[in-house]
Amino acid sequence: MVTIGIDYGTSNSEVVWFDGNQHHYIELDKDSKTPFKIRSSVFIYYEDDLPLPPVEVIEEKVQRIKASISMQLDKAKDKYEEATTPAEQRRHLTQIDQLRGEFHNTPKLQRRAINELLKNQSVDDLPLHKMVETGTFLFGEAGFKQYLKTPEKGRLIYSPKNFLGANLLSGQKDAFVGLIAKQLAFFKEAAEKQLGQKVGGVVVGRPVKYHGTRGEQGNQQAITIMTAAAEQAGFEKIDFLEEPIAAAYRIEQQLDSEKVALVVDIGGGTTDICVIRLGTQKQQDYDRQQDVLSVTGTRLGGMECDKNLILKSIATEMGLGTETTNGIPIPPLYFNDMVAVDDIPRLNKFFSDEMGLEISQTISVAKEPKKLDKLLIVQEEKLSARLVNSSRMAKEMLSEKNHIVLPLKYIQSDFQVELTEADLKRSMLAWMTRVKALIKECLDKTEVQPEILFVTGGMSLSPVVQQEIKAMLPDLPTVTADAFKSISEGLSIQASRMK
């Protein structure tokens, strides 16, 4: 029986087993150009009919149908009393008998209620826990492609990890336990198949602070959900390790002497930083908390940059910053809610019929209605996740090019936006200021000065990030390692030490 490391990320996830000498990556997505890495998003959908409504909903509908039949009965009785000929009386008596038969035929009433409910029901009417219980799950590229093909058939959870520290109701907590359990079971099954061994234990990476506004209470909720999900997935031994510490364990493998390292992990949803003593005599110990000199983190990841790029440079072509004919600004809230792919209540509000009506009414009095037409298309066709994904790809391309043209044909056939490196820098300015403040906060928590710097996570590859951190810490030598693999490999190293 072996123990694996799982880097359960905001944007992508990886699974690694360390045999004591080398790291074994588990192939998770054969449809991806990077099969050892998989999108963390999940698409839950229905190939055919939606599930039956809950019993209480059916019963409520039956009662409404019976109330309607009762009204028809009363009218038929009145007409019988008013009838002036035997023929008219017989006709109304026949109707009364039929209505009484319908009123007391419970199975037929239930079938009618179900049919009427299903006729008017859409995926948006289903609570997440119901979808987790009854829907079909698709992961990785297969799930995202199916979402692009049939968004009306299901629901894309763009980043389950981002909801774990949020204010969740009991049913929502259970839904995320079930949803993540299916992901972890998928990872476990892939590992067992490829390693040819039973996987019994897991060390899962975690941010210092989970995405949310509930502080330590949110962190504890997230760990509780993840633990329950791992147990449900079949893991027998479960532990967690803060992601910057996992990355530190990876670079420790290439050190030949004791060093104090500053590790900056900028992921998709959070930024986590630690100052840690590496290369000590205790480096084979499982518990290394005595070597951690300082640690901090916050919900400040690459997804914020994706959303900021939309709001600064794409949404302006969709009506942001324009006015109505009366000179009133178009509400910025429309666009903030449009990109809230990591906030289910806000996104549901944006996709609601009421919001669609409000945007339509705004278009009727807008100075530039054609721009707002694009916003309405995103709202009606539920294209928010696709737009944020396009922004992410644009951000990555602008890390290598000074200028790109971003096609957005899925919104309108001729819609495209020119973006420059300057646009990206402008969208990242406030975000980068917060990242540097977090680094300073971590350094201020310890009197021990770091001797080396390691920056990891997907956003560490951004030239903007590299330039800004280098300017902040010009004299600190930088250690290099794979920005995407360091955390997962560090987790697998910790997993190999689990007893």
Tens of pLDDT, residue by residue, the chain (499 residues)? 999 999 999 889 999 999 999 999 999 999 999 999 999 999 999 987 777 777 887 888 899 899 999 999 889 888 888 888 888 888 888 888 898 988 889 888 888 887 777 666 667 777 888 899 999 999 999 999 999 888 888 999 988 998 898 888 778 999 999 999 999 999 999 999 999 999 999 999 999 888 666 678 888 999 999 999 999 999 999 999 999 999 999 999 888 889 999 999 998 888 999 999 998 777 788 888 889 999 999 888 899 999 999 999 999 999 999 999 999 999 999 999 999 988 878 888 999 989 999 999 999 999 999 999 999 999 999 999 999 999 999 999 998 899 999 999 999 999 999 999 999 999 999 999 999 999 999 999 999 999 999 999 889 889 999 999 999 999 999 988 888 899 999 999 999 999 7
Predicted TM-score of the model (pTM) = 0.79
- Residue 83 gets the label, from left (phi > 0), alpha (psi -120 to 50) or beta, of beta
Q: How far is CA 280 from CA 253, 263, 283, 285, in A?
A: 11, 17, 6, 10
With H, G, I as helix, E, B as strand and everything else as coil, classify residue 44. Answer: strand
Count other C-beta atoms under 10 Å from residue 155's C-beta.
19
Element (H, E) at 86: helix 86-104
Edge-to-edge strand list for the sheet holding 42-45 = 136-139, 42-45, 154-157
Short-list 252, 205, 229, CA closest to 488: 205
**8 Å CB contact between 201 and 3:** yes
Percent of the chain residues past pLDDT 90, beyond the cut: 66
Q: What are phi and psi of 267, to 5 degrees?
A: -100, -160
Helix ranges (H only) for 196-298 are 215-233, 243-252
Amino acid at position 366, single letter: A
pLDDT score of 294: 95
Q: How far is CA 202 from CA 38, 242, 354, 369, 490, in A?
A: 18, 14, 45, 53, 13
Strand 12-18 relative to strand 23-25, pairing:
antiparallel
Positive or negative, the CA dihedral 308, 313, 319, 322 is positive
∠458-460-464 over CA atoms, to 5°? 120
Please report, for the chain, how many H helices and E strands are present, in that order: 17, 15
pLDDT score of 365: 95
**8 Å CB contact between 300 and 442:** no
